[in-house]
Chains A and B, each alone.
Chain A
Amino acid sequence: MTAPTTVTAVPARRRLVLWVAAGTGCVLAALVTAFAFVGPPPDTTQLLGRPAPAVAGSNLGGGGRPVSLRNYAGRWVLVDFAASWCVPCQQELPKLQAFARSAARYHAALITVAESPSDGPALARYMSAHGAHWPAVQDPQAVVSYGVTGIPTVFLVDPDGIIVGYYPSGVSPSGLDSFIRTAGASGVS
């Protein structure tokens, strides 16, 4: 009895549903595209080009002598955030040691900062056991001031105290060498 109404109404409703679904799909696709291309690049930091925040503490592996980034003014400094239990940090240690060996040529230095205060002594022991003899400190404020979100994370500070390098997924000693040599040639150091 109601067949004529049904026959004419269903296609119209289906068309409407199709249009709504297509429109919703287009909006979602546009959103996904926008956020995929507009989001921040993964390997950058807001701190590049800005003065390096303070790093200070007592040297965990060196009898508690005070260590401060300020005392390294005029030198290239690699600030490394790490933890003893972090396997990528352990894998990165030989690269940092290679950099430390060549760093003497251009008066560079390294400071390792424990990612967690409770891990400081263990990290110092690990470094000492593997022949890494540069200062290690625990400075929770530095972890926040450098915006560290994961470890290992390494920052390169130039002789003027400006952050010029950010390595959230590992350093390359040769890359650091050539970076510093190039920067030195252009008059940074």
Chain B
Amino acid sequence: MRSACSSRPPASRLRRWAVWVVLVVAAAVALAVGAQPATARPSLAQRTRALASEVRCPVCVGETVADSSAPAAVTLRDDIHRELAAGEKPAAILAGIESVYGPGILEKPRATGIGLFLWLVPVLVALAAGGGLAAAFAWWGRQRRSDPASPGDHDLVAEFLRTAGAGTPRAAGEEGG
């Protein structure tokens, strides 16, 4: 079995890589399709809800302005709706809210300063985890290809075969059966 693994034919190796490539492409396509908005041109209400869901409710815990019924959240939602209707850019609206409440009001931290760290950490962790897995698989592969039996093990097997008087493992198996 060890020799079969170490001398895997190129076609088999290619098939194995092809499976991985297909998996990665399928996952990427599924993510891309899932991330697309339901309609190409979202309505004002949909845009309001989308933007409101990027703002934390200032007087609640764990709720966004899109979901909360607190008076402050309702007022903020109305403000967002009115400003979007007036043609204001979403980024400008968020910046206005942030200028009053501070950066903590945003669901997604800005990719600047300490916020950049928050964005980078998951990427770095994913890269480290991927690298670690690749290194572990490579190490396990090397371990599997190398002969785990020591010279003493080989001597023990040879000794057993001699004393059992069996020429081949097949003959010994037939005896046992």
Name A residues whose Cβ lies closer than 8 Å to a Cβ of B. Answer: 1-2, 4-5, 9, 20, 27, 31, 34-35, 38, 40, 45-47, 115-118, 140-141, 143-150
Q: Are B59 and A149 in contact (CB under 8 A)?
A: yes
Q: Determine whether the beta carbon of A115 is less than 8 Å from that of B100.
A: no
CA gap between A145 and B75 in the complex, in Å: 10
Classify the secondary structure of B's interface with A.
helix
Q: Is B100's CB under 8 angstroms from A117's CB?
A: no
- B71 in contact with A20 (CB, 8 Å): no
Q: Which residues of B are found within 8 Å of A149, using beta-carbon distances?
A: 58-59, 101
Q: Which residue, of A117, A146, A148, A149, has the highest number of chain B Cβ atoms within 10 A?
A: A149
Assess the B99–A116 pair: CB atoms within 8 A. no
Interface of A is mostly: helix
Jot down 12 A-B pairs with beta carbons below 8 A, ordered by A: A2-B148, A2-B149, A2-B153, A4-B150, A9-B143, A35-B114, A40-B104, A46-B101, A46-B102, A115-B71, A144-B79, A147-B102
B121 within 8 Å of A by Cβ? yes
Q: Give the complex CA separation of A20 and B128 in angstroms.
A: 10
* Chain B positions near chain A (C-beta within 8 angstroms): 58-59, 71-72, 74-76, 79, 99-104, 113-114, 117, 121, 132, 143, 148-150, 152-153, 156
- Which residues of the other chain, A, contact B156 by a CB distance below 8 angstroms? 1
B71 to chain A: which residues have CB within 8 Å? 115-118, 140, 143
Nearest-neighbor residue (CB-CB) of A38 within chain B: B114
Which residues of B sit under 8 angstroms from A143, Cβ to Cβ?
71-72, 75
Residue of B nearest to A3 (CB): B150
Q: Say yes or no: A34-B101 contact (C-beta < 8 A), given A2-B148, A141-B75, A143-B72.
A: no
Q: Are B148 and A147 in contact (CB under 8 A)?
A: no
User: From A144, which residue of chain B is reached at the shortest CB distance?
Assistant: B75
B111 → chain A closest CB, angstroms: 15
